Structure 1
């Protein structure tokens, strides 16, 4: 009897997911094929928005910056998170050493950007402490790299926590056997600990990949994609075209492109991990 009505049990959740996720995407995809300013009815233009998109110099800039965010995320928040987790895992009071890295994650990206804005401004604390005269947020690619450091400060804690969970899930027997065979330090980590952590590492890297591709709040609060458009990411370009310029059709085309890029990158990464 239960098996007969099994689809009915999942139907409410499936309908909710369809309404909240799939329906907005279908509507966005439709708008990407129209010219729409939010006031007049949408006018069908076919692929004209995508033609304009791929001939727009701003797309090249936002794509470059997005790729910098992806590469930087793999090296800094993920790499440093793994380093902090390993160094603080097997020592007395290691949990207390991780607390300072966890605190920034409690802040929103916008709140974090507000904290760092006076630090990175031209007459801010960073220039004063370093004794330099660098426009951290006014020149490319300095602005993207500076914001990437802010992003690292926020994301380092959660990546550290996830890696600590992975370390705790490793059976002690292989590690003890490796130590009896003389393995220690880097050799122990590379040949025993790291392979055993691979499933969790795939999850951490996958989450970081998706998050870096849709970076928005830190960039918007610190630079709003400027000066000009030299620090825009794809998510910022989508927002500015849609809600600032009121080009809903063109902004939807950027949103569709961002969705396709994120989905394709996630698929290729997960497919590689499965292999």
Structure 2
């Protein structure tokens, strides 16, 4: 046993290296190729033509990019406030209720739909002559004007994501030791004070995971926007992911679309890094 252990330790990198190289290749090769294309003029047919940073200079002068950034920020803020915030609220309010699991079931059902399916269900409802206008007795173009259309899609996104965030927070509540909560109740803490000073600090590790996942998902929002509005009317509801898709596969400008993809990757990575760094502190 004593002679085999050093041998295993000596060659442990050799066991891990093939899998690590495979994963690194699958993850980084597409990004490096995209980064290269972002410095070229490429239509998908002729060989790429090197242009340097021209595509990134074009990004700075593109008014549609500013709209995409604004809408993406709306998605980030809205996701933090609505699906995450409401998910935490539902989890806390239903946790101590008798039969609370049954109260959470209706919130979980929409999660079975994909983003594309969600768009197909809600697009006719929110259309100008849809059910929403008829029920509310109004004449509102929910998916026409900006930023109203982005807010409408955020509410649809909340309808889908609320259940899974609630479930994650319930798991966090169940993992909290009972002793600190019981001790706080004996000391007279209840309601908001119990949640603010006892439950919330104990849930911070899980909250960091939930918020981190929601942050990344909101930055790369694509499917629901594409199905419901295709970034329109015009380009007033585009996100960065939709802009990347339209420039690459609709306009066949692979170089410019790759530049948008690099920008989206950098923004997502930087936001994730800053958030995780703050959580570590």
Normalised to the residue count of structure 1, the TM-score between the two structures is: 0.99
Q: Using the alignment, how far apart are the partners of 2:86 and 2:187 within structure 1?
A: 29
Deviation at 1:16, TM superposition (A): 2.0
1:159-200 Cα deviation digits (max 9, x unpaired)? 111100110010000000011111111111111101111111
In structure 2, stretches of 5+ residues that fail to align are 1-6
**Residue 194, structure 1, aligned to residue 200, structure 2:** yes
Q: Using the alignment, how far apart are the partners of 1:259 and 1:170 within structure 2?
A: 35
Deviation at 1:12, TM superposition (A): 2.6
Query: In the comparison of the two structures, how many residue pairs are matched?
Result: 275
Deviation at 1:136, TM superposition (A): 0.3
The runs of at least 4 aligned residues of structure 1 exceeding 3 Å deviation read: none
For the residue of structure 1 that corresponds to 2:11, the secondary structure is helix
Deviation at 1:15, TM superposition (A): 2.0
Normalised to the residue count of structure 2, the TM-score between the two structures is: 0.97
Deviation at 1:138, TM superposition (A): 0.7
Q: Using the alignment, how far apart are the partners of 2:69 and 2:104 within structure 1?
A: 34
The worse-fitting range, judged by mean Cα deviation, of 10-19 and 144-153 is: 10-19
Q: Using the alignment, how far apart are the partners of 2:16 and 2:126 within structure 1?
A: 50
For the residue of structure 2 that corresponds to 1:2, the secondary structure is helix
RMSD of aligned alpha carbons: 0.7
Q: Using the alignment, how far apart are the partners of 1:149 and 1:14 within structure 2?
A: 40
Q: Using the alignment, how far apart are the partners of 1:254 and 1:67 within structure 2?
A: 16
Q: Using the alignment, how far apart are the partners of 1:125 and 1:238 within structure 2?
A: 32
1:127-151 Cα deviation digits (max 9, x unpaired)? 0111100000011111000000111
Q: Using the alignment, how far apart are the partners of 1:69 and 1:176 within structure 2?
A: 39
Deviation at 1:103, TM superposition (A): 1.1
For the residue of structure 2 that corresponds to 1:38, the secondary structure is coil
Q: Using the alignment, how far apart are the partners of 1:137 and 1:37 within structure 2?
A: 32
1:104-131 Cα deviation digits (max 9, x unpaired)? 1111100011011111000001101111
Deviation at 1:33, TM superposition (A): 0.3
**Residue 85, structure 1, aligned to residue 91, structure 2:** yes
What's the counterpart of residue 22 of structure 2?
A: 16
For the residue of structure 1 that corresponds to 2:78, the secondary structure is helix
What's the counterpart of residue 6 of structure 1?
A: 12
Q: Using the alignment, how far apart are the partners of 2:163 and 2:255 within structure 1?
A: 38
Q: Using the alignment, how far apart are the partners of 2:150 and 2:69 within structure 1?
A: 12
- Which residue among 60, 78, 94 is the counterpart of 2:100? 94
Deviation at 1:19, TM superposition (A): 2.2
